[in-house]
Amino acid sequence: MKIGIMGGTFDPIHIGHLLLGEFAYEDFGLDEIWFLPNGNPPHKKAEDMKDALRHRIEMVRRAIQNIPYFKICLHEANESLHSYTYKTMQELNELYPEDDFYFILGADSLFTIEHWRYFEEIFPTCTILAAMRDDKDIEDMRMQINYLKQIYGAKIQLLQAPLLEISSTVIRKRAAKGLSVHFMVPDAVDEYIKENRLYVTKGKNKNGFRQDK
Ligand SMILES: Nc1ncnc2c1ncn2[C@@H]1O[C@H](COP(=O)(O)OP(=O)(O)OP(=O)(O)O)[C@@H](O)[C@H]1O
Ligand SMILES: O=C(O)c1ccc[n+]([C@@H]2O[C@H](COP(=O)([O-])O)[C@@H](O)[C@H]2O)c1
């Protein structure tokens, strides 16, 4: 099978993530997309992420529940260990030797990938599908893709999905102010955020969720 891996913090999952999954699925003829919530991402503050994993996972579950080719992969769902993409991808290749993996990411991730742990070891494990995002224009993307291909022998393809200026940060900020996040997240996620009062209180709330300034 051809499996797309949509890795993220998903704090919360939003329609930008889902559209990347959908376009990767169609344009590259993938069989399944696995949403991979990271447990304890090394690049985000541990104290900010504490206790939030359960909610992040539940929001992913609800967002994808009616789409048969979208699955959740809990390989990194461990709060007490840092999750590193090179390690996860090596392990997924060992667990599923018959399958081909496609790691889906946005432009911001493509431009910082050289700062990831043992990033060169990611390239033999998958094809990267890189989508445009925000301020990066297509020429910058093409140059970065060619650079990573030439220097590291990476397999990278441009993923052409609709440009959406949407981020989990904006959603958290709006929810914190009591503003609507309707249409930015699926209805089931919107309801979950409201029911659990995620992102709402001043300082850190009882769920340990981040509060953005
Ligand atoms: N609107 C978007 N367009 C393209 N790529 C996106 C978009 N939102 C997220 N991504 C990509 O999805 C992956 C997971 O993103 P993540 O879960 O960190 O969401 P985020 O919106 O970037 O979160 P935050 O605002 O908290 O940093 C990353 O590779 C990121 O580049
Ligand atoms: O392995 C690393 O060092 C590493 C550093 C930064 C990000 N990542 C992965 O990149 C994906 C997108 O990350 P993020 O921060 O945008 O949610 C997600 O799967 C992270 O685990 C991985």
For ligand 1, the distance from its centroid to the CA atom of residue 150, given in whole angstroms, is 26
Residues near 183 by beta carbon (within 8 Å), at least 6 away in sequence: 15
What pLDDT digit, counting tens, does each position of 67-100 carry? 999 999 999 999 888 899 999 999 999 999 999 9
Q: Model-level pTM greater than 0.90?
A: yes
Tokens of 2: 């051809």
CA of 97 to the centre of ligand 1 (A): 28
Amino acid at the residue 162: P
In this prediction, residue 62 carries a pLDDT of 98
**Which position has the higher pLDDT, 138 or 104?**
104
Mutate to test the pocket of ligand 2, among 38, 87, 103, 108 (most ligand atoms within 8 A of CB): 38
Q: What is the ipTM score, two decimals?
A: 0.98
85 lines ligand 2 (CB under 6 A): yes
Residues 189/62, Cβ–Cβ less than 8 Å: yes
H-assigned helices in 96-167: 107-112, 138-152
